[in-house]
Structure 1
C-alpha cells in the first residue's frame, strides 16, 4: 500500500516542518495565522535558482494547482531576478529576491529565540513573510524590517497589510540598520553577508542576539548566532545555509581573461601534479573551511563534454591563478599555478588543516566581531582559524 500524499496546503507543510523539528510548538499558532501564500506573488521560480539550472516559472493564473503546491512545499521560491530588471518567464542572470525555504525560516527563528516584548530588526524584507511572522508573534510595533529595493518593500508592505499585520518596513541600506528604532533585542538577516556590519552590533542590546547567514568569498555559508556584549559579538555557527548576498556586499569579481592577459594557457604558469582531487574541495562545508583560510580568493569551474572539468582559483588582485584538472577515477591531477600566491598549494594546505582537525562541521566553527574586525575560530575564540595573508 502506498502512503497517502499530503494535500497541497498549509497543513501539509506544517506537518512536514513539525516532523523535521524546524517548526516548534511556540511558532505553530503563528504559522497557521500567517500563511505563506499571502506573501508569494503570482509568478515564482520554485527550488534553488542560480541562473543556470532549469527552474521553470510557475504562474498562478496559468496553473493555480502547481502554484499552490510550490508555495506549500518546503522549498525556496525565487520571486525576482536581476534586481527587478528581468521580466520574462525564463531564468535571469542573478536571483535577487525570494521567499526562503520554510525549514530555514523557522530554524532561524528558533535560533533567534524571541520572547514576548522583544524588539527585532530584520535585514531584507523580501516578500514580507518573515517580518509578518515576527509581527504576529511580538506585535507590529516591535518589528522593524529594512529592504533596499523600493518595489519589493512596497509589495511586502501590501502583503502584510492584507494579512492584518503592521511591522515597520523601511526602504534603506541594511548595512546601516535603523538607529531610530534602536536598541533591539534581536537582529536577523535574511540575506547573507561576508562581513557583519558594525551598526548591527551597535544597535543591539547587551545580551541580545544577531542571527545571520555568513559566508566567505571563496564559498560555503552557514548561519551564525552571535551574542552581543557591549561592542563585541561572538558565537557559533548553527547550520548550513545558502542565501542571496546583501546587495551592497555582492562581490564584483574580475573576469577569467584578465588573469591570462591574452596569452594561451598555461601562459607563465608552473605545472605540477596533486593527489588531492578537485572534487574533494567542492563541497559546501569544504569550501567554507578552505575559504576561512584563503581570503581574497575565489573559484570557477570550466566543464567539458567528456565529463572532465577544470577548477580555476583566482586572487582578487588579479595577480595569481591556479588550474586543477579533474578526471573521474584518476589518482593524480594536473595543476598549473601562476603569480605570487600559489593558490592550489594554499587550497591543499587549508584542506589538510580541516582534515587534520577531524573534518569539523559548521557547528564547531564560530565568529567574533569587535573593533578589530572579524575572526573565525574553531571550538573556542581562543583557537582562531589561521589564514594566509592575501
Structure 2
C-alpha cells in the first residue's frame, strides 16, 4: 500500500479514531481522532519551555506534538507496556522528536522528573490519581479524559493541596487498563433476566442522545452505560449496569416510546429521577460541570459547589 493509502486508513477523518493495538479481541491502544487531539492540546495551554508529563505513550504521536511546542528534552511519556514503548521510541526518533519514553504505571506518574508544568493523559480514568496532582507545580495544569464521555482541565492550587477545573468537551476515550469497562456488555446482562416492568416513556429521547443530559447521567449514575441507536421506528436507547440490570427505551414508530427494564435495579426509574433533577437545575450543559480533586476525594459539581443541588463525590469507595 502506498504512503497515501496508509495515511487514509490510519487518519480517515478529523472525527475518527484508529485502533492500533488489540489483545484477546479487546482494543488496548488507539490514535485519538484529530479533533480531540487538537482540543486536548489546546486545553493544556502549552508554552515553549514547559516541562510535560504524558501518561499513555501509545503510538508516540501525541508526545511528539507536545515536544514540537515545548522544545527538546522537556517531555516525559509513560507507557505501561515495554513492547508498545519500544515501538513508540522508534517512531519518535524517526520523527526527530526529543521525548523520553519510560515504562511504568501511569497512575503513579513519574516522580523522577517532577515537578511538571503540564500533565496530560491520553486514556480515560474514573478517578484522577493524586500522584498527578502531587507531581504538578502549583498553578500547573492537568488535562485528562474522565469517565467515558469527556475530558477535564484542572489547575493545581497554590498550596498544592487540590486541583480544580471544568469539563472541556464530549468524546469517548480508551479507558486505563486498570479500570477498563464493564465486565459484561448489554447483551450478556439482557440475556439472563426477562423484562419485569413495562410502561410508556413520555420524554424526548433526542435529549438523551445529546451530550448535555448524557453527561449529567454519567455524573449521577457512573456505572450505567447508555447507548442510543436509530432504526426504522426512530431513536432507541439501551441501558445496563455491567452487572445484572438492564433497560431499553424503544420507539414504536407512532410517536410513542415504551420502556422495558429487568434485573434488581429499575434503571429507567433512576434515569427519570436524574432527568428531573437536570431539568429542575435549568438543563445545565456539560460545560457547567466542574471537578475538584483533593487527597482521598474527587467531587464533580455543577455551577456552584457550595449551592449545588446535586453532585457526585468519590472518596475512594465509589460515587454517591
TM-score range, shorter chain: 0.7 to 0.9
Query: Who is 1:65 aligned against?
Result: 4
Q: Distance in 2 between matches of 1:190 and 1:260?
A: 32
1:365 and 2:257 correspond: no
Q: Report the Cα offset of residue 73 of structure 1.
A: 4.9
Query: Who is 1:249 aligned against?
Result: 179
The 1:81/1:143 distance shift into structure 2, 3 A limit, reads closer
The 1:206/1:125 distance shift into structure 2, 3 A limit, reads same
The 1:134/1:308 distance shift into structure 2, 3 A limit, reads closer
The 1:271/1:252 distance shift into structure 2, 3 A limit, reads closer
The 1:116/1:387 distance shift into structure 2, 3 A limit, reads closer
Q: Distance in 1 between matches of 2:161 and 2:219?
A: 23
Q: TM-score, normalised by structure 1?
A: 0.70
Over aligned residue pairs, what C-alpha RMSD do you find?
2.9
Query: Who is 1:44 aligned against?
Result: none
1:304-383 equivalent positions in 2, closer than 5 A: 307=233, 311-316=237-242, 318=244, 320-339=245-264, 341-383=265-307
1:208 and 2:140 correspond: yes
Structure with more contact order per residue of length (Cα contacts < 8 Å, sep ≥ 6): 2
Query: Who is 1:78 aligned against?
Result: 18
1:288 and 2:224 correspond: no
1:12-70 alpha-carbon deviations (Å, 9 max, x no partner): xxxxxxxxxxxxxxxxxxxxxxxxxxxxxxxxxxxxxxxxxxxxxxxxxx243333445
Query: Who is 2:121 aligned against?
Result: 189
Query: Which consecutive unaligned segments of at least 5 residues does structure 2 have?
Result: 314-318
Task: Check whether the contact 2:250–2:258 (CA below 8 A) recurs between aligned residues.
Answer: yes
Query: Who is 2:56 aligned against?
Result: 124
Q: Distance in 2 between matches of 1:185 and 1:137?
A: 13
1:228 and 2:156 correspond: yes
The 1:241/1:336 distance shift into structure 2, 3 A limit, reads closer
Q: Report the Cα offset of residue 347 of structure 1.
A: 0.4
1:270 and 2:202 correspond: no
Query: Which consecutive unaligned segments of at least 5 residues does structure 1 have?
Result: 1-61, 86-92
Q: Report the Cα offset of residue 78 of structure 1.
A: 1.5
Instruction: Give the match's secondary structure for 1:276.
Output: coil
Q: Report the Cα offset of residue 271 of structure 1.
A: 3.0
Q: Distance in 2 between matches of 1:260 and 1:114?
A: 46
Bigger CA radius of gyration: 1
Task: Check whether the contact 1:194–1:215 (CA below 8 A) recurs between aligned residues.
Answer: yes
Q: TM-score, normalised by structure 2?
A: 0.84
How many pairs does the alignment contain? 311
1:206-253 alpha-carbon deviations (Å, 9 max, x no partner): 11110111125xxxx122010112121111112222221122121242
The 1:329/1:231 distance shift into structure 2, 3 A limit, reads farther
Q: Distance in 1 between matches of 2:188 and 2:173?
A: 28
1:240 and 2:170 correspond: yes
Q: Distance in 2 between matches of 1:214 and 1:312?
A: 22
Instruction: Give the match's secondary structure for 2:178.
Output: helix
Task: Check whether the contact 2:126–2:146 (CA below 8 A) recurs between aligned residues.
Answer: yes
Flag the structure with higher strand content.
2
Query: Who is 2:130 aligned against?
Result: 198
2:84 to 152, 165, 171: 152
Larger displacement relative to structure 2 (168-177 or 137-146): 137-146
Q: Report the Cα offset of residue 321 of structure 1.
A: 3.7
Q: Report the Cα offset of residue 313 of structure 1.
A: 2.9
Query: Who is 2:316 aligned against?
Result: none
